Structure 1
Amino acid sequence: MFKFDFQIEEEDEENALLTSQTNTAQAGPSTHPPPPVKDEGDKNCYHITLEELLNSLPEEISYSPLSLPFLETPLLRRDLFDARFQLYNKADIQDSDQGKKDQGEEYVDAKTDLIPGLYEGGLKSWEGGVDLVEVLSSIGNDQKDIADWVRGSSVLEVGCGTSLPTLYLLRSLLSIPPPSSSSSSALTSSTKTIFHLQDYNSLVLSLVTLPNLILSTIPYLPVEALHAPNDEEDVESVLPDLENPGNLIITSKLKDAFITLLKERNIQLKFTYGHWDGLSNSLKKDQDKGYNLVLTAETIYAEESNESLLSVLKQSIKGSTEENLHKEDVQLEDSLGNLKVDDEWKIKPLREQGEGFVLIAAKILYFGVGGGLTAFLNRVEDNKGWWKNVKDWTKGVGRKVVQVGW
């Protein structure tokens, strides 16, 4: 069976896999609850609230830093073996309470990162996610520039998984204080920043996406919310280590502080899981809305899914209508040496750019499954879209980040 071999390696996590479509919220059903186990033919999408996902968290999670050469401080992400342990515990509880195991436990030790229609690799960190972080980190000169660029905009990450690009944008946004209404150049406090995270599997959102989002906010949460010191410990001794692997205690105080921080910074987190056809239909109903930026990494590997993905991308960005197409004739260069990076989109804040656009990180070719970037971009053009190259990586399997719009 095919196995991707270009993920960002995580210690003791080579065989981690999750396929269950079970809604992980334990506090009660969402507004539109899915079936207990979503079958392979289900092409709907489902929205789940932040509060529901918070209620699915364990009492403690372990994490490790992901150090990247272009970032001053590492990104924190939950250890995959820890997510697996949580899944096993959940399966054991269901086994004793109901006499049957969770469907996710059945596949957790599979020797593959891809089971079409069941699990799409969302628990792993893939190179494309890192590539998007590198591209985003090149905006301006520091985190303040990136924060100013993204603040007040709406961002959708399709096929988010561990959600490295959104983690980076959220952390950058939190790195500066909220704008003062007395400053003429500052945004008003009513300006909201929206991060919408989508993955095929609901358990991916609860096991890695949300924990990683929480980890990215650690430097900006109150000390007492991270781990209330006891009589034998002072505050400094219980603060999480951001440079080395560690553990984070998930208390109700921490959850409340996380929600409060988001409200204070006027940040909204939205979560959706399920089939892209369902997401596309949902986006069509909100024709007056749209996202300033859509991010997606390593999602074009299956050619049979590309039409659904294209529909999502086209429906999701601002200004994407048949009557108002942004046309640009940009062709793939024959020579890598002649490729140019167009930085125009980095200069103006997202909220002021009018039309939205997509950043896609992908391999030139996905060996073993038939997908590839050239074929996908041909479909973009067939769908009256435009694209242009942003950045290339030629070492090993060739990779690109491209900008796409309509």
Structure 2
Amino acid sequence: MFKFNFQSENQDETDTISDDLKSSGKTSLQEIDGQEIEISNDHFQNLKQYRESGSSTNLVRGFHLVDLKHVEELATSQKSGEYESLKTAIEMNSDVISGVYEGGLKIWECTLDLLDYLNKESVQFEGLDVLDLGCGAGLLGMHALRKGAQSVHFQDYNAEVLSLCTIPNVILNNSPDVKSKTKFFAGDWGSLHDKLKSYDIILTSETIYNPENYGKLIKIFEDTVKKNGVIYVAAKHFYFGVGGNVYGFENLLRQNERWNTSICFCSTEGVKREILKIVQSADQNH
């Protein structure tokens, strides 16, 4: 069975990122050109039909998410040349195929960690500009919208994920005027620098599993975080078989005196998971 499933809220997930990357024989991301995916009337119409058909939604941490069986059916029913990355993932029964499909339709456990942390610590979003980087289903960005963010930009490697999953989820959980507060960008991080703006808060989860992509990720941070901005990176402590790990990523950041880092959360059960909080040093803000 294809693994486009939602993680149950009390279930430990195995390290499928590592397993799938090893089986695919690829690690680094291919640089897909960046593009903006706009919310269209088709998105609203398709979602209206989805509701009228009686199709169920999945409730995750208070957010209604489109059923991924429906997403799979949409992807596989399209003519040749459309949604090819998702079709390939379905055929290979894989959560991640590096350079093809980056796992955007799965709710990863670290995303729930970060969502819970933001709630528990009452992190403020009112009037702020937020980037949900590697957004997948869009839970983190939708949380920011719910808490009063001025604008939220969602980024995912795959345009299909944004069109079939993220945008419908955002529409489901917000009023129609959400279009004026949101933008959606697809593509490799290296191709997005001229499209993204400056953000008060950057939220990202399960994006440091591959050390080969650290440079691109840090460049996004350098180019887009505001002087007094905050970055939250949720990740497993170590990704076996791939090499990514929180300690290595944090050490790379600390080589540049621009950044101050701290671990603000560490899991106590199951696979060790952490949240890294990143701010700019006081010297950079003068």
TM over 0.5, yes or no? yes
Percent identity for Structure 1 against Structure 2? 31
For 2:64, which of 73, 76, 84 is the aligned residue?
76
Alignment partner, residue 142 of structure 2: 167
The answer to whether 1:103 aligns with 2:84 is yes
Alignment partner, residue 153 of structure 2: 196
The answer to whether 1:314 aligns with 2:245 is no
Contact 1:280 1:308 in 2 (8 A): no
Alignment partner, residue 51 of structure 1: 40
Contact 2:110 2:205 in 1 (8 A): yes
Alignment partner, residue 214 of structure 1: 171
Q: Residue by residue, what CA displacement relative to the aligned partner does 1:345-391 show, whole Å, maximum 9, x if unpaired?
A: xxxxxxxxxx1110110110011211110000011111332111211
SS of 2:193's partner is helix
Contact 2:34 2:187 in 1 (8 A): yes
Q: Offset at 1:66?
A: 3.4
Alignment partner, residue 116 of structure 2: 134
TM-score (norm 2): 0.79
Distance 1:360 1:386 in 2: 13
SS of 2:137's partner is coil
Distance 2:170 2:153 in 1: 12
CA RMSD of aligned residues (A): 2.7
Q: Offset at 1:130?
A: 0.7
Judging changes above 3 Å, is the alpha-carbon distance between structure 1 residues 271 and 120 closer, same or farther for their aligned structure 2 residues? Answer: same
Q: Residue by residue, what CA displacement relative to the aligned partner does 1:15-46 show, whole Å, maximum 9, x if unpaired?
A: xxxxxxxxxxxxxxxxxxxxxxxxx7444311
SS of 2:152's partner is strand
| Structure 1 unmatched ranges of 5 or more | 11-39, 69-73, 141-145, 174-191, 222-257, 284-288, 320-354
Alignment partner, residue 240 of structure 2: 367
TM-score (norm 1): 0.57
Name whichever structure is richer in strand by fraction: 2
For 1:273, which of 186, 203, 209 is the aligned residue?
186
Alignment of 1:2-401 (within 5 A): 8-9=7-8, 41-51=30-40, 54=43, 57=46, 59-60=49-50, 62-68=55-61, 74-90=62-78, 94=79, 103-104=84-85, 105-140=87-122, 149-173=124-148, 193-217=150-174, 221=175, 258=176, 261-262=177-178, 268-283=181-196, 290-319=198-227, 355-384=228-257, 385-401=259-275
Contact 2:171 2:178 in 1 (8 A): no
Q: Offset at 1:63?
A: 4.1
Alignment partner, residue 24 of structure 2: none
Aligned AA for 1:49? E
Distance 1:55 1:75 in 2: 18
SS of 2:265's partner is strand
